[in-house]
Structure 1
C-alpha cells in the first residue's frame, strides 16, 4: 500500500501500531530510550516501522524515536568501538545485554509472533559522545550506464551534493563507474555510496516496457547483482571486499534491502553480506524509489552527519522528517541496518 501511494496506508499503519507497539508503548516511554532497534523476520523485514502511526496522536513512530534495524551479524559492529569518544558510549552493564539481543544496548526485549514472523524491539539507552570532525571522504558511483532502460539521471544529483559536502570525495559516473575501480577503491574509504541499479528477484530483473508482459519478459539483470559500467557485480562477492574501516555503505538502487533468499534467516537482504565484509552499517531501499525524493533525503542525511555531527540513525530520522509532509512512499523506503552510531 505504501508502494502504491494509496491513502489507505493510514488505516493499515494505525492497525499495525495497535498490534506491535501499543501493548508496550508505556514500557518504552518509561525507559526513555535514545532509539529503537528492530529485529524482524519474514514479511516484517520488508516493512518500514517508521511509518507505524499512533491514531490517538496522529504521529508516526519516526516522530517519536530514531529507528534502525539489525541482522544477526550486527552484534559484531556494535560491540566494536569505532574509535575513542567518537560516537556512542555504552555503560558497562549493557555488555551482557549486547550479546543477548544481537548486539544492542538494551534494558528490555519484546517478542511477538505475527503470521509466522518474529519481531524484537530493543530499547537503546546509550548516550551520545561529543561531536567530532571525522574523515568524511566518500567513494561514490552514479548512473554507470546512462542509456535507457538503465539511465538514472537523478543519481548524479546525489553525488554532486556529496561533492559539495565532502570535496575530497572520489566520484565515478558513466563509463568511469567500473567494477574494477569499485573493488580496488572500496576498502580505502569509510563511506561508500552506490547510486545504481540492483536486482534481487530470484528470476532476474527487467527494465523498461518489456516488463509489462511477465510471460514474454526480457531479462536485463541477473538476480542478486549490482550494475556497474562494465557489468554486473554478484552480491555474494561483496563479503570478500575487506571493509573493516567502512562506517557506511549507502545503496540507493531499487529494492536493495529486500531479502536475497527465502530460507527464513533473520537477515534483511544484502545487509548481512555487507556486514560480513566488515561494513558497520548499510543504508538501503525497500522498494523502487523516487529519484528526487531519494536525493533530498540522502543529501540531508549526509549534511547532518558531516556538518552537524549527528549519528547515522538520528541523521536519517531528521532527513526523513524533513520530507514527512509527503506520502511515506517518498521518504520511508530508505532504512538503516546495523550500527546506528
Structure 2
C-alpha cells in the first residue's frame, strides 16, 4: 500500500518527462500514445519543476498514431454534417427498487481485488474463464447514485439555450438506448453523457460495460451496454463522456493501446471520449462534470475544456479537499 505517491511521481517524471523537456518546451498541448501499463497512468499528475504537468499543459491520449489520423479525418468529416443537437444525457438509472441509496461518498462502478484480478487473467483465454466473467457481471449489485441526477440537472441548466435531452430514472435503460439507436436518434447528438455505474472486466475486455437500469428489464435486456455491443450502435458524436468508474481501462494490446470501451465507441462512430482510470466519487464527479460542461458550452475545444477544469480543481478553485488528484486526475481524454 502506497501512502505517499510523491516519490513515485518524481521517479516517473524523471524518466518519462525530463528526457523530452527540450522538445516539449512551451507547447501548451501534449498528446500521449502510452504503451503497456503506462496507459493506466494520468501523465497530468507528474511533477515538473515544482508544478504538476496539468498546470502547464493540456494532455490528451490516443491508442496509436494511426488512430489519431483516423480520428482527425472523422472530426473533419463531422464538421460537414447538418447541424446536430447539443447533447443527450443519460443517468441516475434505477439499480435498486426499495433498497438503500448510495451515500455521497459512493463510488461509481465495480472494483476488482488483486486476487480476483490475478485469477481472472490466468483464466482469461479459457471458455470457463469467459463464462465466469459473464457470471460475475450478472451477479454484481449496484447502488443508486443520487449525485448523477444532480449532475444531469446542472448540466441541462448549463446548456439551457441549446437542444439537450435528459433521460433519467426509470427511463435510463438499455432498452430505451436501443430504441433511440434504431430510430437513428443517437446519431443526431454532438455530445453524449452517461452518468452511471461502470464495470471493468479485467479478463474479458468485451464485457466492460456502462450499467443502465437493472429493475423491470424484459428478459432480452440485461442493462449492461458492453464493449462488445457498442459497435452495433451508430454514433456521429464529437464527444462521449463516461462519467463512471474505470471506463478507460481495457486490455492493452501491442501497437493498439488500450482496448475495451474506448475503442468500441470509436468503432460505433465517436471521435473524442472522456473516461476514467479509477473509481470516482459520486459527489465530486457531479461537480467536476458541471465545471467541464460549462466550458464545453462556451465552445472551448474538448482538450482545453478538460485541461482548464483539471487546472481549476488542482489549484483549489473548487475547494481545498478537491485539489487532490484523486478527484480530478482519473478523467482522461482519448481523441484528437
TM over 0.5: yes
Q: 2:311 aligns with which of 290, 297, 321?
A: 321
Conserved 8 A contact 1:136-1:166? no
Residues in 1 aligned to 2:262 and 2:202: alpha-carbon distance in whole angstroms: 17
Which residue of structure 2 aligns with residue 274 of structure 1?
Answer: 265
Residues in 1 aligned to 2:283 and 2:263: alpha-carbon distance in whole angstroms: 28
Q: 1:172 aligns with which of 167, 179, 186?
A: 167
Residues in 2 aligned to 1:283 and 1:296: alpha-carbon distance in whole angstroms: 15
| Residues 1:83 and 1:177: Cα distance change in structure 2 (over 3 Å) | closer
CA offset digits 1:124-162 (Å, max 9, x no partner)? xxxxxxxxxx85621111121253432111111111111
Which residue of structure 1 aligns with residue 35 of structure 2?
Answer: 41
Which residue of structure 2 aligns with residue 93 of structure 1?
Answer: none
Residues in 2 aligned to 1:227 and 1:84: alpha-carbon distance in whole angstroms: 31
Aligned 1:1-341 pairs, distance under 5 A: 6=3, 8-29=4-25, 32-54=26-48, 57-72=49-64, 73-80=67-74, 81=76, 137-147=86-96, 148=100, 149-167=142-160, 168-183=163-178, 184=180, 185-202=185-202, 223-229=207-213, 230=217, 231-243=223-235, 245-259=236-250, 261=251, 263-264=253-254, 265-307=256-298, 309-324=299-314, 325=316, 326-339=323-336
Conserved 8 A contact 2:295-2:305? yes
Q: Structure 1 residue 223: deviation in Å?
A: 3.6
Conserved 8 A contact 2:227-2:260? no
Residues in 2 aligned to 1:299 and 1:82: alpha-carbon distance in whole angstroms: 29
Query: For structure 1, which runs of at least 5 residues remain unmatched after alignment?
Result: 86-133, 205-221
Q: Structure 1 residue 299: deviation in Å?
A: 1.1
| Residues 1:194 and 1:84: Cα distance change in structure 2 (over 3 Å) | closer
| Residues 1:152 and 1:246: Cα distance change in structure 2 (over 3 Å) | same
More helix, by proportion: 2
SS at match of 2:278: coil
CA offset digits 1:253-304 (Å, max 9, x no partner)? 1110011x35444225421111111101100010100122212221111111
Query: For structure 2, which runs of at least 5 residues remain unmatched after alignment?
Result: 101-141, 218-222, 317-322
Conserved 8 A contact 1:71-1:271? no
Which residue of structure 1 aligns with residue 130 of structure 2?
Answer: none
Residues in 1 aligned to 2:77 and 2:159: alpha-carbon distance in whole angstroms: 20
Q: What number of residue pairs does the alignment pair up? A: 264
TM-score by length of structure 1 reads 0.72
More off after superposition, 230-239 vs 326-335 = 230-239
CA offset digits 1:159-186 (Å, max 9, x no partner)? 1111101233111112101213223132
Conserved 8 A contact 2:209-2:261? no
CA offset digits 1:13-49 (Å, max 9, x no partner)? 11111110111202210xx434100101211111100
TM-score by length of structure 2 reads 0.73
